[in-house]
Amino acid sequence: MARLQAHSQLAFLPSPVLGASAKPTLSATLDSFGLVTNEAATVASIDSADPNHPTVKPVPYVGVQYAAIPEFQGLGTTVGQQFSAALAGTTTADAALAAAQSSTEREMKRAGYIK
């Protein structure tokens, strides 16, 4: 984004689409200039994920995780904090698992995925 802010660097870019066919979003604007957006990079990353080789270096497990719901990142943060507390010894593993389950169920109900 920083490189887009200097107007002198934009001189070579084509004019964006105007009028009824204009798409008033940042990703649409960047797309009209032929630039890769974070959204496109995210989709490409998800599409190229290899569950059989989930990391750069070999690991003793397989799998990748991604849920295409807006709540996924927040849930990951909340659950991760619970597990970190267990690893730090400020709570038990059982308490962390129960808290993670409870917060996840609460958020899924709030979002309308489960009743």
**Would you kindly state where each structural domain of the chain is located, as residue ranges?**
2-48, 72-111
pLDDT the model gives residue 27: 54
CA–CA distance, 115 with 98 (Å, rounded to integer): 19
32-57 average pLDDT score: 76
- Mean pLDDT, the chain, as a whole number? 76
- Answer with the residue of higher pLDDT: 56 or 2: 56
CA–CA distance, 49 with 35 (Å, rounded to integer): 22
Read off the pLDDT band of 63 (50, 70, 90).
confident
- Amino acid, single-letter form, for residue 59: V
Under 8 Å between Cβ of 72 and 97: no
Beta strands in 1-109 (DSSP E): none
Q: What radius of gyration do the chain's Cα atoms show?
A: 21
The DSSP element (H or E) to which 97 belongs, if any, is helix 93-111
pLDDT the model gives residue 54: 86
- pLDDT of 112 over the 90 cut: yes
pLDDT the model gives residue 45: 78
- Given its phi and psi angles, is residue 63 left (phi above 0), alpha (psi -120 to 50 degrees) or beta? left
Under 8 Å between Cβ of 66 and 46: yes
